[in-house]
């Protein structure tokens, strides 16, 4: 997983990952848009696969998202998946000046509109999407992108709660699982929601693929693991302070964790937030182990569930110590060999 960086830095990093056994890169959208960096990485490392995880949907017309995805698919020769998400209301309304509510229903219509555009680009049918939030019915030939042989563009969405997981089951090709997750959450909440949505749409839930970011913090000694463990605690605490994610803790018997984290973040007590994430919580939300254990731990935890594993902390680890790229690559090759 990667985010901000110059095109040159991104291209160099892509070459490094490709040379060390990674299969792809997932690009976030926070302070910078992902598209140009994906293009730079794809030219530099033509074997890698790419995804947005996620691109913010509502500030963009579905036509724009579909057109960009179409171009990405062509130029990567089909090695691109469009990952979309609603983001949160504050960002969408106050930072992007776009409509947000109702987020789940709006995103369902958005994905349907994007897929209608892609079908029109392929020449399957005229553009004719008439949804509750998006209406698209005009695509003159001169404005339709050139057809290519990689037109089966997959569209995934991020989903956490019951409404959005059902939307994923209804309309998406895959789910970007939230980094803050336990296997209990995946098995008892996320997959159940996806299955319910798929059943409502008459789809096979088994065909909906899961992309799962993991807080992996490897190192051969506790001292070597400490920096990544600290980052994992901080990130779990930050995500866990969100009221809508309180059930992640409550389901596992860590009741009251989210209100405590919320109170601490309002006071700016970030060190105390991280200290609130106990070793028992880390066992549920992260993988902390020796380097030679990591591949087996990932395979044991996620085999049969994840289609793709995303190393949340690998870029930070490699930026700090470039020699770690070979170690991460060894893990990546071992996990890929177990598919």
pLDDT at residue 339 tops 90: no
pLDDT digits (tens, 9 = 90+) for 275-297: 999 999 999 999 999 999 999 99
pLDDT digits (tens, 9 = 90+) for 92-134: 999 999 999 999 999 999 999 999 999 999 999 999 999 999 9
Q: Which CATH code fits 53-207?
A: 3.20.20.30
pLDDT digits (tens, 9 = 90+) for 57-91: 999 999 999 999 999 999 999 999 999 999 999 99
The tokens 């693991």 sit on which residue? 225
- Mean per-residue pLDDT, 306-329: 96
> Where residue 3 falls among pLDDT bands split at 50, 70, 90?
confident
- Residues 273, 237: contact at Cβ < 8 Å? yes
Q: Is the dihedral of CA 251, 242, 54, 163 positive or negative?
A: positive
Q: For all residues of the chain together, what is the average pLDDT?
A: 97
pLDDT digits (tens, 9 = 90+) for 147-158: 999 999 999 999
- What local confidence, expressed as pLDDT, does residue 124 receive? 98
- What local confidence, expressed as pLDDT, does residue 6 receive? 96
State residue 136 phi and psi, 5-degree precision: -135, 125
162-174 burial, b for 16+ CB within 10 Å, e for fewer?
A: bbbbbbbbbbbbb
> Where residue 317 falls among pLDDT bands split at 50, 70, 90?
very high
Report domain extents, the chain. Answer: 53-207, 219-339
- What local confidence, expressed as pLDDT, does residue 4 receive? 75
């Amino acid at each position: 997983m990667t985010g901000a960086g110059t095109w040159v830095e991104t291209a160099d990093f892509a070459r490094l990952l490709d040379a060390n056994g990674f299969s792809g890169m997932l690009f976030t959208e926070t302070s910078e848009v992902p598209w140009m960096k994906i293009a730079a990485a794809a030219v530099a490392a033509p074997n890698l696969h790419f995804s947005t995880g996620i691109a913010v949907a509502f500030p963009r017309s579905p036509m724009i998202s579909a057109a960009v995805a179409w171009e990405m698919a062509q130029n990567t020769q089909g090695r691109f998946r469009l990952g979309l998400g609603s983001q949160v209301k504050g960002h969408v309304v106050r930072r992007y000046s776009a409509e947000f509510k109702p987020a789940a229903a709006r995103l369902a219509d958005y994905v349907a509109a994007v897929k209608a555009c892609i079908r029109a680009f392929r020449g399957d049918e005229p553009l004719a999407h008439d949804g509750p939030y998006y209406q698209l019915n005009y695509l003159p030939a001169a404005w339709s992108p050139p057809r290519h042989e990689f037109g089966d563009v997959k569209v995934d969405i991020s989903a956490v709660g019951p409404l959005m997981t059902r939307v994923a089951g209804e309309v998406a090709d895959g789910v970007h699982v939230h980094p803050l997750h336990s296997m209990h959450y995946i098995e008892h909440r996320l997959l159940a929601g996806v299955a319910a949505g798929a059943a409502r749409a008459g789809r096979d839930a088994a065909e909906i693929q899961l992309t799962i970011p993991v807080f992996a913090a490897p190192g051969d000694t506790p001292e070597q693991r400490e920096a990544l463990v600290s980052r994992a605690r901080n990130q779990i605490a930050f995500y866990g302070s969100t009221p809508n994610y309180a059930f992640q803790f409550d389901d596992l018997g860590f009741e009251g964790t989210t209100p405590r984290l919320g109170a601490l973040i309002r006071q700016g007590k970030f060190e105390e937030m991280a200290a609130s994430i106990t070793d028992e919580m880390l066992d549920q939300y992260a993988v902390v182990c020796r380097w030679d254990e990591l591949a087996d731990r990932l395979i044991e935890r996620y085999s049969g569930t994840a289609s793709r594993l995303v190393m949340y902390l690998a870029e930070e680890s490699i930026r700090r110590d470039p020699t770690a790229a070979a170690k991460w690559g060894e893990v990546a090759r071992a996990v890929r060999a177990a598919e």
